[in-house]
Structure 1
């Protein structure tokens, strides 16, 4: 493969067309005097299964639209390799996720600011959440209306989800109608979702679609970035472009002002390391010349580890692949397309909960995702999904375990090595054992008496803390929230910081990282809305730098 003879030149190159990348491409190209190129390794978002919420089941199995990463063997999870799905198309994971709209707790962001990241406290980031949002309930102190990202209530929730909420109240938890209403996060209720008229509303739909026809925005799909191009030495080292592969050839695109990595918590650090930016000894191990020795690149990996409690159901109410639902599929599809209603509008995880594992906890430390279906193995076990039943995910919101992303080799097409190190801190498994107990309390409430069949997992024979801990080690999986691998921090005091509070990469001019990898700590909730917020705030930082 030889390099293409012509070299393109734009003002900004954005690598990665996921949630944050879509925001940046849209916001930066609002100025007609600025040229922007967005590089996305996957295809466009034209596949219809992307836009039908129930299409998630197919997307979990797709080898075209899903990166289908796997971790290395996890020593505290019985040596298992965990499946990590990530979106590989315009919109990234916002084009294949469960569309759950939560932001975390205000203290999460105030914690970022307390670590020295000026401008990242909750009061600082709230305007960007509001700017991004088109809340179907209307604008309020905590919500925006008219923004690119539609946020709505479920059009056709399952009766089982209503039962879950009633059971949660019976178990002593408050009902919560808005998990994003400032400090009021605790309780049980329905998720709000990034949907419009019952269809998925991804970052690509909200941000890219209105901008696609702008003459100053160039979107290149099937473009695999190989490395960031650097020039200069020492303090004068600067990112000047990106080398990428497209249609079997290597191409180069140069940036007048900045290169921005928005490839996500796995691939942004991978691309930095392939470019010679990262831990020197690790780069040398793979024959990569160290241009900027940054030990924090790929470190600080955090994720929400999740475990499920599953019950057999007594009534034909499940949203799984039951005979009733299969026979009713054509009618459900008609309801979706004609009225934005019906079973196909379901994201699977309809019920939300933020609970305290113990009353002494200052803020919720557990999150629930209730599913009105029998589920295991990320919905890929279709035979299990055919039965009647219901499931609950529970995760520890603030894990203390830390992992890392490293290179397997210097081939840009290779997947990075994911070592999540789940449960390496002993406090994490104790918290998850408490989580299972809280879920069992809810499922034992009278509201479920008409629907509660046998407990299929962990199973009635699993009762002691050690038995529950062993079940967790054997069966826990990701709930899809990896962050932290290009940590934001203060360079003077934090040697593991990769970017500063303006998201500029340490030791390289003209290079930023803008995605979930910059989170210094994991937020207590789903990560898609916070990632979009990061893109919104970064767009203002980048515009301000250009004006300076």
Structure 2
């Protein structure tokens, strides 16, 4: 299908973009074009093999962004990975597929988005995925009722009988934190086994390219163009009405344009969707004017409210007999050869998993003394957002949500996971486990904006990690809890005694030690959200509840940038759910649902 006119032009063939393309092209009357800046890497063994995901970082499948220097992280610029490939970040992520936390989804509606709550989104989470074994988890329950074609194939991550599974759950249970074998059903606080976007039959990555695009790629009404970089959205103004009519893109080193008869749908991700809007004249007029761009629509929220999960690991030496992925981390030839043969012939072994097999959602304040809890409440009160805050009233909503979460013993305010391998920059001998903590709901709000009007220049990304004083307090207490957890039975039985940390600085004497460790070691978990937030325009929003850009006709955004408050867990499952719902919203607007 060769044309310069389509009904829907989708900018970005990533996690969300291919979902929307698949669903819209179900109607043969719709002519759908997807423009993806990256290439198709679906035959790349680094993409297909679960354990090789990290080898894609800084490759041609990764945009390889860097943050602005972060003052609270000792001035470090943090590596920010985003998939530059058909399938987007679903092609290079660690395949973790965990529930979002119902309370976080409900907070979206409370911020001014009617219909965007857990009840309204639950069925769309179910629509995106199928769990191997008749959609059953370890105890035979279905994660969610499923009566729709659900493309993404899930399986339990790693070996379900590995010693870490029972040790992890048993320790959290002993600590008084509920343990669930099916977190999708009751979404508790406590420990659970992680699901992964890995096909149980092939043990290969299941992602938007293989699950949503490949089965329908021969549809006559769908065209997917890779290595096509969209440079700007084309607008037309009549009177007071402005509408998107198409896009300009670069392909084969030539500038081309395409017309969208119905809509332009931006699905470029939380780091690139605001960039494209600004390049096209939509955003804060001061930023646009500074870069020589004519203002099409004044929308100050574009590029603001950026949220991300800041994560920090500690490595602890394990008993020699524990099976880990350390030989792969050290690139031992014999171990790699054995693992590759086992994976090729039996579809199992070290290469069949990312090594992230266990998770826990914990009300971290339940682990703190009364005095510490009171001090946190005081700190929260002292740092309430001021009127006229740069991020609009979302900061106030977020502050209220986090305050409520931190003071509710049934809501998770800390997240922990394990990795069956060392995670240091330089491989070392021995057998290691890595324990990881991350902050599920940061109060720190960052930004992403253009540096110039040159389409190929990377944006200025400033997540402002740990800039809110409450964030570093909570995360520091989480880091200290990791040490307590490692010393607790039965998990301690997996570790050499006395405990030996890969970095001696991880043996914290007090909370200040933990903060200093964070400043030197915390990084991004690559869960970017919020930079084109779904909120009323007067609250700093960029899109409305139908994901339409405020004040512009025929333009929507469908990706993690619309998330107003970041979810508890990894964003992958939520992006699929948003895209599934978006497809229904679009169909309904054209009388199809």
Instruction: Provide TM-score, normalisation by structure 2.
Output: 0.86
Pairing 1:21-420 to 2, within 5 Å after superposition: 21-45=17-41, 46-62=43-59, 64-139=60-135, 140=142, 142-144=144-146, 146-156=149-159, 158-182=162-186, 184-196=187-199, 197=201, 198-233=203-238, 235-316=240-321, 317-320=323-326, 321=328, 326-359=333-366, 360-361=407-408, 362-376=410-424, 381=425, 383-384=426-427, 387-420=430-463
CA distance in 2, matches of 1:323, 1:523: 34
Higher mean Cα deviation, 401-410 or 445-454?
445-454
* SS of match in other structure, 1:284: helix
1:141-182 Cα deviation digits (max 9, x unpaired) = 724375111121135354345433333334443332122224
Q: What is aligned with 1:3?
A: none
Secondary structure of the residue aligned to 1:503 is: coil
Determine the structure 1 residue equivalent to 2:558.
514
Distance in 2, Cα, partners of 1:236 & 1:298: 23
Instruction: Determine the structure 1 residue equivalent to 2:139.
Output: none
C-alpha distance in 1 between matches for 2:584 and 2:494: 53
- Structure 1: where are the runs of 5+ without partners? 1-5
Q: Tell me the residue number matched to 1:478.
A: 524
In structure 2, list runs of 5 or more residues that go unmatched.
136-141, 367-406
CA distance in 1, matches of 2:464, 2:506: 29
Q: Which deviates further from its counterpart, 248-257 or 326-335?
A: 326-335
Counterpart Cα distance in 1 of 2:354 and 2:131: 18
Quote how far apart the aligned CAs of 1:346 are. Answer: 1.2
Q: Distance in 2 between matches of 1:110 and 1:322?
A: 40
User: Residues 291, 172 of structure 1: CA spacing in aligned structure 2 closer, same or farther, 3 A cutoff?
Assistant: same
Distance 1:297 1:247 in 2: 30
SS of the counterpart of 1:195? coil
Shift in alpha-carbon separation, 1:402–1:300, aligned structure 2, 3 A? same
The structural deviation recorded for 1:109 is 1.4
Distance 1:82 1:385, change over 3 A: farther
Distance 1:112 1:342, change over 3 A: same
* Native 8 Å contact 2:72 2:466 kept in 1: yes
Question: Counterpart of 2:374?
Answer: none
Q: CA deviation at 1:348?
A: 2.4
- In structure 1, what is the Cα distance between the partners aligned to 2:274 and 2:120? 26
Measure the CA separation in 1 of the matches of 2:427 and 2:287. 42
Q: Does 1:468 align with 2:521?
A: no
* TM-score (ref. length: structure 1): 0.93
Q: RMSD of aligned C-alpha atoms?
A: 1.9
Question: Larger deviation: 530-539 or 185-194?
Answer: 185-194
